[in-house]
Chain A
Amino acid sequence: MAQRDPEALQAKGKREMKPTAEQTKPGPTFNPAVDIFETDREITLLADMPGVKAKDLNIDLHENVLTLTGEVEPPERTEEVDVLREYQIGTYYRQFTLSEVIDQSKIDAELKDGALRLTMPKVEAAAPRKITVKTR
């Protein structure tokens, strides 16, 4: 047997998930693999979503819950017959709760070669505001 490079990539099947709500479209749903890192200024999320076109990617941030949804159109044409199938195609879906307050207007998303890069700048620390209590 040939020696295997210890640094070689190993395929891991996509992580299939059970959606909490029933899907309108049939087919499996997968959790995309992500990297998330944070600096003082922003939170960056990288997600692998091969096969998703920019128009089919939906990013939603609502009440600190970030939802990523990516629809994939099967690339096969109808006349093609399966010979070998090692991976399945389905919708990508993943949700995160963000603890930091994000400046929604400055979120930047870039989808390139099936990998998403989402940059979410944190809100500038709100200036302390003194509240005076009125007495009648």
Chain B
Amino acid sequence: MTVRRISDWPTWSWRSPFRELERMRKEMDRLFEDLTEGIFREPRAGVYPLVNVTEGSDDYYVRAELPGIKAEDLDISVTGNSISIAGERKIPAEDEKAKYHRREREAGKFSRIISLPAQVDTARVEASCVDGILTVVLPKSEAAKPKQIAVKTM
């Protein structure tokens, strides 16, 4: 195997060019993570809707962008530590004489199950849909809530 040295590249030692490559790769990963705020994940293929899950001290919040979907076309159910969001997006037919220039919005059925990091109190789950954003508030079950432990002194 031949290792070609790139001239005018002072940091590269011809003995360990791969170490430098590794360093660059790590640097790129770090940069990429910064750009995408760490937690952001590329959506996987075949799922709808995309969701954001956040955690407060007492609740989990599941949010999804569902533009143009009516509340009655949504079916949400919760079991223990997972939530299922199903429904159908309908785009009503327009005037048949209408000539389409662009058609980017899509209609269809969807269903998705999202697992939550802990058990939730299924009886107190609430969902609302405002301005095309679905928000589901899932209160944590008593066992999953953080508890303050007082340290005793002897």
Contact residues of A with B, CB < 8 Å?
4-5, 7-13, 33-40, 44, 46, 48-53, 75-77, 79-88, 111-115
Contacts and interface: CB of A to CB of B under 8 A. Distances in A.
B101 A37 contact: yes
Contacts of B28: none
A82 B109 CA distance: 28
A37 B135 CA distance: 32
A113 B70 contact: yes
A1 to B, nearest CB: 11
Contact of B131 (A44, A76, A113): A113
A35 B68 contact: no
B48 A11 contact: yes
Contacts of B99: 37-39
A33 B132 CA distance: 14
Contact of A39 (B45, B60, B98): B98
Interface residues of B toward A: which range?
35 or more
Interface on chain A toward B: helix, strand, loop, or mixed SS? loop
Contact of B68 (A12, A52, A82, A114): A114
Nearest to A11: B48
Contacts, number: 152
Given A113-B68, A115-B68, A35 B105 contact: yes
B53 A13 contact: no
Contacts of B132: 48-51, 113-115
A87 B54 contact: no
Contacts of A7: 108-109
B40 interface: yes
Interface in B43-86: 43, 45-57, 60-61, 63, 65-70
Contacts of A13: 42-43, 50
Given A9-B89, A114-B66, 17 more contacts: A8-B48, A8-B110, A10-B46, A10-B48, A11-B43, A11-B47, A33-B104, A34-B105, A36-B100, A49-B132, A50-B66, A53-B131, A75-B133, A81-B55, A83-B54, A85-B40, A88-B40
Given A8-B48, A53-B131, A83 B117 contact: yes
A132 to B, nearest CB: 39
Contacts of B69: 113
